[in-house]
Amino acid sequence: MLLAIVLLLAGLVILTAGAELMVKGAATVAFRWGISPLVVGLTIVGCGTSAPEMVVSIYAALTPPEVVDGVVKSQLELSIGNILGSNIANVGLVLGIAALIRPIKVTVRTVKKEMPIALAAMFTVWLFAWGGRFDRWEGIILLGGFALFLLYCVRTAKTEAEVEVESTTPTTYPWLFLVLGVIGLVGGAYLFVESATSIARDLGVSDRVIGLSIVAIGTSLPELATSVVATLRGQDDISVGNIIGSIMFNSLLVLGSVATIAPDDIASTVANVDVPVMVGVTLASFPLMWLGFDINRLEGAAILLMYITYMTWVGYTELVTPKPAAPPGAGVDGSGALVLPDDPQEDRALAWTLTTAPSTA
């Protein structure tokens, strides 16, 4: 397990470094091509800080299931948990900590436009999750929503005042930064997912909980670093915009890609608890922004407390919930398909396990 922990930390460092390199390179390319700084902030920076979630979630979704110690393991739970957990962490952890450091001013436009758009995306995810499954057509709809979001960003940018390019710190070799960033993201994601899964199985923790906690927090560190630095420098719009933009990327692009690539059933806990918590935490922060158009330290502490309470509940339910095991003879073939045992009685037992396991994950 010690090696897995070392690889987990190494993957996290590589992921973060890769995201930073990609953002720097992409921002410089955008400025040299004359793209509006607002578009860069809402798209490239948001995409860069959400890139770890994108790579980790898609890699986990593409990993075939296997039977470990008699329990069928599918990393799709890790993928979905990472997406939802990252959104919850973006609001509860990132926004809460940023507001604790210094009260955050929120623009009227953010409250009246960007926040409602983010909430609409989350409610759409909740609607799709209600059926207990993310289908491919639902993933395509989410991807279409992301395309509309990008169109909104471009149209909004045309009405914004231009900012001097000198306000940024362009790099000399942007394309090299882009390539190194992609390599870092892919390599870091591989180390992160493999080590997180190994630790989860050694401790007997479900992939859903690992995805909601350690993986989600780890891949949200770029957002946390960006928002904290922006808050310290008085760039409140960047801090809040980074959080909202990351929520949009996770909800529409990342989840849409996962559902399109690997449509599958989801645990009932995801639809009944995790998604409502994601919507609830964001919805709770909305009136805080509306009142006075700022989030003070007390409100930031309240948001952070909601996140801590939720993560405590996740850990507690994981400890007290029994984990059903698949009967002897269950396995996974080379294509990743589940292989049922020959005995009809064991077939029924396995069917019961696969049906009830998500709700007790």
Segments of 116-215 assigned E as strands? 133-134
Res 173 pLDDT > 70: yes
Round to the nearest angstrom and report the end-to-end CA distance of the chain: 22
On whether the 2-321 domain is CATH 1.20.1420.30, my answer is yes
Q: Are 181 and 158 in contact (CB under 8 A)?
A: no
248: nearest Cα among 107, 112, 37, 87: 87
List, in sequence order, every residue forming a beta bridge with 265; answer none if it has no partner. Answer: 133
Whether the pLDDT of residue 349 is over 60: the answer is no
Pick the range with the lowest mean pLDDT from 38-42, 173-177, 323-327, 350-354: 350-354
Site of tokens 């069928």: 72
pLDDT reported for residue 346: 45
Helix axes 221-232, 46-62, angle to 10 degrees: 170
Model confidence at 353: pLDDT above 50: no
Q: Using 50, 70 and 90 to split pLDDT, how confident is the model at 126?
A: very high
Q: Which of 258, 180, 217 is nearest to 17 (CA)?
A: 180
Q: Give residue 34's pLDDT.
A: 66
pLDDT of residue 132: 85
Q: How far apart are CA 15 and CA 56, in angstroms?
A: 10
The chain-wide mean pLDDT, for the chain, equals 76
pLDDT of residue 218: 75
* Domain residue extents for the chain: 2-321
